[in-house]
Chain A
């Protein structure tokens, strides 16, 4: 009786989910309610989690709750600590959820709401969540080893080196593009700039409070910080109308240099002073804002105004060039599948896992929640009038420099918007202009502000807008600091092989030297992005997407190789299926970025086109001045893409080699799984 009841409930969820997905896929009309997106997402996640993830855990991975985890076996009270599953879930989610799932869907909305939404749902349940869960499982069975170490142990040195290099370069590109998003949100906006600037001393105050005034009182310190941050948002409005306005009114280049200088300082300052306290603030802000956004969407049930598909699926989009396939998959990135998560799921989270039983909830469930954040970002971007969305996100180099030109171009695409409307919107948000704020953060902030404004009070629009900007900036900067630091550790690790002294992470000359190298790496791409009249995001985000999806493919290669080696070849399709798709997507995207003759897509084509225009004197003087740098950069980007794709295929062939040798009975590297040991923890994670 109870069983048939359960079957009925799941059947109802399946039908509701199918109805909602079908509804948003087939709907063609003026607008569609955002609640359909939420319903579709929740039903899809519920079914995937209940059936697919449970099946993978039981049959493919053969998760064993009686097996002692590394956290239990190696418990040292410091990094290896068996921890309550909800606490591990919280840490894991806070680590994987960054600005990516907010930016990617916003940019992908240029194709319309449908492609991005479908990929966020399908990609997460069949790809991203599977990758996170399988990687978490494999690392848990291998004493919490990192992805790179697992690649080396199971595939061989080639796979290991490729994983390491891939990780390093994706970090560089990621930081550059995040820095660019912050710069675009701050340029000529004293309110945004002063608020973001204020987060630095606020974090230091909190750091000193936690370290010296009241050691270890993390929640007190964080509460103080949150109050100060909210005051900084309000104070920014005051500065915007005061004599200090000029101090914070800068163009993109000045702000880029400030971000670069800041990144270097943050990398060499002790973590307790800046990185750790700001991370508390950004985590609280992130969780609070995401919950608030979910509540506001459910309360308000806004109408999505973007069409299901736009004409830009043909590759002529203003925000980034390239056709629907493969670029929607590259652009959505983290909300559907993110290779970066494999770095958290290996090495970091397994050290806390009390029982293998928790792997499904933390690995698979954590990614579903991240995907849900991406769905909300998609909603926030698509509730804007499409004309407004494109006015905010299209770079000046594409739509024209003045408001009149930009509006005329956007109207010519069939998206109505007027100069007066944009001026009113900017005034409402407390900004001088919202044109050409490419990168996703400002349009998301406008979307969030209008949702929050309608739900909690319209007169506070400007405050909500700058709150949203501050919220995005604070955790973008946290990722920037943390990423620079991780990049520095990796570089020290690599250079340590050449000259051992450089490998000493506490030797100050090495710290400064390697930090400088890492900051110079992303600083270069940030600088080019800022001087590029087409906004830079159109170049950097696809590069980041390719690198991120490539890292996911590497993680899935390692997982597939291990499944085959451990005699589970008939289940290997679970990881091989998303792997094949990712390889198709990244290889096609890389091919187009390198060889396409469309100057909006191909790096070499763009470089050639610009050199010809420069040689024949067709460029306006301000463009001609930066043209040589842009040409060099386009060529560099092409080579970098080529490098990414070669690294990926090297790992694929290495994995295939290992699989074929194993299947034909030849010796391969032994499975590095740690031998079974029975757990002594009871179901609550307490030692009996």
Chain B
């Protein structure tokens, strides 16, 4: 029972981090290792800059 609750909480936390973009860099690193393993990945600061600028292109908020 406690284990299930713990699992659910962990799942929620993962979802929460994913939704907010808190784990974006970690996901990028995984993607990078998988697809472009031979190049050096961006630093956290450089990646965040790119990610944030990219996020605000196009219609993101409406009424």
List A residues at the B interface (Cβ < 8 Å).
77-79, 84, 86-87, 90-91, 95-96, 98-100, 174, 178, 210-212, 215-219, 222, 271-272, 275-276, 279-280, 333-334, 338, 340-341, 343-344, 347-348, 478-479, 482-483, 485-486, 489, 548
Once the chains bind, are B19 and A91 in contact (CB under 8 Å)? yes
Q: Quote the shortest CB–CB distance from B35 to chain A (angstroms).
A: 7
19 contacts between A and B (CB under 8 A): A78-B51, A86-B15, A98-B61, A99-B63, A178-B63, A211-B45, A212-B45, A215-B49, A216-B22, A216-B44, A216-B45, A216-B51, A217-B22, A218-B24, A222-B20, A272-B49, A340-B63, A344-B60, A482-B61
Once the chains bind, are A218 and B22 in contact (CB under 8 Å)? yes
Q: Secondary structure of the B side of the interface?
A: helix
Q: Does B10 sit at the interface, judged by CB under 8 A?
A: no
Once the chains bind, are B49 and A87 in contact (CB under 8 Å)? no
Once the chains bind, are B49 and A78 in contact (CB under 8 Å)? no
Once the chains bind, are A275 and B56 in contact (CB under 8 Å)? yes
Complex-state Cα separation, A222 to B22, whole angstroms: 10
Residues of A close to B38: CB separation below 8 A: none
Residues of B close to A96: CB separation below 8 A: 62
Complex-state Cα separation, A128 to B53, whole angstroms: 31
Once the chains bind, are A218 and B60 in contact (CB under 8 Å)? no
Residues of A close to B25: CB separation below 8 A: 216
For residues 35 through 63 of chain B, which have their beta carbon under 8 Å from a beta carbon of chain A? 35, 44-45, 47-63
Once the chains bind, are B20 and A100 in contact (CB under 8 Å)? no
Once the chains bind, are A78 and B15 in contact (CB under 8 Å)? no
Once the chains bind, are B48 and A77 in contact (CB under 8 Å)? no
Report the nearest A residue to B11, measured CB to CB. A86
Residues of B close to A340: CB separation below 8 A: 62-63
Residues of A close to B52: CB separation below 8 A: 210-211, 271-272, 276
Complex-state Cα separation, A79 to B54, whole angstroms: 7
Once the chains bind, are B63 and A479 in contact (CB under 8 Å)? yes
Q: Secondary structure of the A side of the interface?
A: helix
Q: Quote the shortest CB–CB distance from A290 to chain B (angstroms).
A: 15
Once the chains bind, are A174 and B63 in contact (CB under 8 Å)? yes
Complex-state Cα separation, A212 to B20, whole angstroms: 18
Once the chains bind, are B55 and A276 in contact (CB under 8 Å)? yes
Q: Known A272-B52, A272-B53; judge A218-B63 contact (CB<8 A).
A: no
Complex-state Cα separation, A537 to B19, whole angstroms: 35
From B20, B24, B44, B54, name the one whose CB has the most chain A CB atoms within 10 angstroms: B20
Once the chains bind, are A279 and B61 in contact (CB under 8 Å)? yes
Q: Quote the shortest CB–CB distance from A404 to chain B (angstroms).
A: 37
Once the chains bind, are B61 and A271 in contact (CB under 8 Å)? no
Residues of A close to B61: CB separation below 8 A: 95, 98, 279, 478-479, 482-483
Once the chains bind, are A216 and B62 in contact (CB under 8 Å)? no
Once the chains bind, are B18 and A87 in contact (CB under 8 Å)? yes
Once the chains bind, are A219 and B63 in contact (CB under 8 Å)? no
Residues of B close to A276: CB separation below 8 A: 52, 55-56
Once the chains bind, are A548 and B19 in contact (CB under 8 Å)? no
Once the chains bind, are A98 and B63 in contact (CB under 8 Å)? yes
Residues of A close to B63: CB separation below 8 A: 98-100, 174, 178, 333-334, 338, 340, 479, 548
Q: Quote the shortest CB–CB distance from B55 to chain A (angstroms).
A: 7
Residues of A close to B57: CB separation below 8 A: 79, 489
Q: Does B21 sit at the interface, judged by CB under 8 A?
A: yes
Once the chains bind, are A348 and B59 in contact (CB under 8 Å)? yes
Q: A210-B52, A216-B22, A343-B59 are in contact. List 14 more A-B contacts (CB 8 A).
A: A77-B35, A95-B61, A96-B62, A98-B61, A98-B63, A215-B44, A218-B22, A219-B16, A271-B53, A271-B56, A275-B56, A276-B56, A338-B63, A347-B58
Complex-state Cα separation, A230 to B24, whole angstroms: 27
Residues of B close to A280: CB separation below 8 A: 20
* CB < 8 Å neighbour of B48 from A87, A95, A100, A215: A215
Q: Quote the shortest CB–CB distance from A215 to chain B (angstroms).
A: 4
Complex-state Cα separation, A178 to B62, whole angstroms: 11
Residues of B close to A275: CB separation below 8 A: 56
From B15, B17, B51, B55, name the one whose CB has the most chain A CB atoms within 10 angstroms: B55
Report the nearest B residue to A170, measured CB to CB. B63
Complex-state Cα separation, A355 to B62, whole angstroms: 24
Complex-state Cα separation, A234 to B37, whole angstroms: 51
Once the chains bind, are A218 and B20 in contact (CB under 8 Å)? yes
Once the chains bind, are B59 and A215 in contact (CB under 8 Å)? no
Residues of B close to A347: CB separation below 8 A: 58-59
From A99, A338, A344, name the one whose CB has the most chain B CB atoms within 10 angstroms: A344
Once the chains bind, are A211 and B48 in contact (CB under 8 Å)? yes
From B47, B50, B59, name the one whose CB has the most chain A CB atoms within 10 angstroms: B59
Residues of A close to B48: CB separation below 8 A: 210-211, 215-216
Residues of A close to B59: CB separation below 8 A: 95, 343-344, 347-348, 482, 486
Once the chains bind, are B49 and A211 in contact (CB under 8 Å)? yes
Complex-state Cα separation, A218 to B18, whole angstroms: 10
Give the 4 A-B CB pairs with smallest separation, nearest first.
Answer: A100-B63, A216-B48, A340-B62, A215-B45
Complex-state Cα separation, A95 to B54, whole angstroms: 16
Residues of A close to B49: CB separation below 8 A: 211, 215, 272
Residues of A close to B16: CB separation below 8 A: 219
Complex-state Cα separation, A465 to B20, whole angstroms: 28
Once the chains bind, are B31 and A77 in contact (CB under 8 Å)? yes
Report the nearest B residue to A219, measured CB to CB. B22
Residues of B close to A91: CB separation below 8 A: 19
Once the chains bind, are B44 and A95 in contact (CB under 8 Å)? no
Once the chains bind, are B62 and A87 in contact (CB under 8 Å)? no
Residues of B close to A344: CB separation below 8 A: 59-60, 62
Complex-state Cα separation, A548 to B58, whole angstroms: 19
Q: Quote the shortest CB–CB distance from A580 to chain B (angstroms).
A: 23
Complex-state Cα separation, A98 to B57, whole angstroms: 18
Complex-state Cα separation, A174 to B58, whole angstroms: 17
Q: Known A211-B48, A486-B58; judge A87-B53 contact (CB<8 A).
A: no
Report the nearest B residue to A287, measured CB to CB. B19
Once the chains bind, are A98 and B54 in contact (CB under 8 Å)? no
Q: Quote the shortest CB–CB distance from A163 to chain B (angstroms).
A: 13
Report the nearest A residue to B17, measured CB to CB. A219
Report the nearest A residue to B25, measured CB to CB. A216
Once the chains bind, are B19 and A87 in contact (CB under 8 Å)? yes
Once the chains bind, are A78 and B56 in contact (CB under 8 Å)? no
